[in-house]
Structure 1
Amino acid sequence: MVIRGYTIKEAVYTLLEEEGEEEEEEEAEPAETPEELLERVQQLRAMVRELRRELRVKQRQIEQLTMYKQELEEKLQTSSEKIENLEKLVEQLRRGEEREIREKKLLKAKTDRIKLLEKELAKEKKEKSELYKKLEMLRRMRLLEVTKQAVPVKVISALTKDRVRAALRDYIKPGDVVYLEDPSGGGPTTVQLLVQAGISAVISNQGMSHTAMQTLEKHDIPILAPGKVGLRHVDGFAIADPQKLKENIEKWMEKHKEKMLAEKEAWLEEMINNYRETRKKERPHKT
């Protein structure tokens, strides 16, 4: 603050100096007149008033600064509270996100489990349906056997180990007649599975390998043509005419016996001829 070109500090200091100089001048100079003293008093009063006014201004400024400081402190407190609340909110959101992730993982695991169970259920239903069809087929076959209206024929789609084993597991029993839809490709090892199951006859189109036929013939199992036995497909399985089947089995057995007898006779004749040749070679020559 400046008063008449002086700061407050300079004005007070100047006033004190002037008072000191006045005291010295009083000793050296004659006393001032009343008019001069009055003027000096008025000047001092004016300076005091100015100093008081400046002091009030400074006090108001201090009060304003104090209020501003309080406002800043309040804003700082509010800001700190907001930051704390935001940090809590962020933490809650983070925990919520982690919980949501865990819930999603759990939901995915449950969904995968449900899908797996649905697949297993569908598989079980399919197997149940297939089993029901097989049971129904066996029931009808059994009915045909009892009534002797027709002879049930067990169908094997292809002469492979997998198809034969599946048929043996599901519905083929000893004494059954088997129809091979596709006999090609099967060898003696596959046919041996049917032989071991104790089947009574095989119905087959042309195409069975020679070695497979030999295996069946070796075990006296007839090989019959579908057209000769009146083979028909009914409701997922096959049937044959009982009379035609019986007649063709008997014919095959007769031919088979004749063939076996002829083979034995040929074998015996060969053995006799070999024996005679050996004896001739062993006889001593006459000189």
Structure 2
Amino acid sequence: MLRCQFYLKDYETVNVRHRHIIVGIDPGTTVGVAIMDLNGRLLDVFSAKNCSFSDIISRIISYGKPVVVATDVSPTPSAVRKMGSIFASVVNELKASMTVEYKEKLTAKYGYRCKNTHERDALAACIDAFNKYKKKFAQVGKKTPPEIEEEVKAMVIRGISIQKAINMLLNNSEKADSHDKQRAESADKSVNGKDYIERLRAEIRQKDEEIERLKEFQERLKCELDCKKREVAELHEKLRSRIFEMRREVMRERIVKELRAEISRLKSQLKSVREENARLKDFIKELKGEMVHEGFMRVKVLRNFSRKGIEEVERKFGLERGDVLFIEDGSGAGPKTAEMLAEKGVSAIIYGRELSPIAYEKLAERGIFTFHESEIPVKHRRGSDFAAVDEKALRCRMEEELRRRTKKHVLFSI
């Protein structure tokens, strides 16, 4: 939707067709436009969002013919260059883009409160372009008759010297005056009807000129439209190519992601297999007695003193008469569990955590030796099914315990 701010109502009476203007443009989705005459007077500032190119051009030419088209950035945007080409205008090239501070300073002098940054940027570009020719315009004002001053300014902008522009316009003016004089002399000899016909013919010629100008403008717009169509076709082709590339890239990334996930899964599986393999190797070594050091004997490990624990050890390794067991945790054993173990013919038990008093008494009744691991050196890796016990220390403790029991039995007999 177009939003405009108008200035200088007295310009409505000026011949717009012969007026030359400077146009500042901020291109984009929202276009900002500022229009100024060659005397530095602001005619219009407006912004347009999603507005057609032709509507903006129509708005501009309603104020006159642009001789300078300007912008606030460098390099000059293609849209601004095309606008200059349509009007055959000079494009005000900048060496560097304007800073925000500079634009604020320029626009503040004109007292116009811009509604948005697009209007501000367009107005700053317009003012900057006018300032570029300001000194030349002042010289033109001093040397040029008022009736041709604006035309001289427009010619100076296009690179023609002041004096040459004045001479060209004065020569044309003299020819026009001579022609007007001849026409006036002939008019005196004519009747009023002929005067009316001449005025109509003059108006027709003026309209014909206007039509020719509009036709020329229409041709430029057609060329511009053809260029746009070619650009759209090229962009569609690029878009199709890009979509194809993106789809291929997405497919590749998906395959890569799946392969990485599979690699990660296989690595995890390999790690588990290696850990299991290492555990099995240790287990085999334990079974072969390879991990028992000299002076130590291999004993089976009962992790917890329970029926289930006893059955598991018996199933895996068997329990034979005279076996020595290492019990990691004997605190939960009862008389039945102790009786079950005694029936297997176990000769001695070494326990880690405390052994329940009930189990201790039951085992003692059955003649099974029980020792805490602090009494006999034990090498045991937690989670292993076997432990190593100092054989000499075990035999010594068993003999001591046997002597103690024998002595106690003799005393009770007496």
What is the TM-score when the length of structure 1 is the normalising length?
0.47
Query: RCO higher in 1 or 2 (8 Å CA, sep ≥ 6)?
Result: 1
What is the TM-score when the length of structure 2 is the normalising length?
0.36
Larger fraction in helix: 1
**Higher Cα Rg, which structure:** 1
Larger fraction in strand: 2
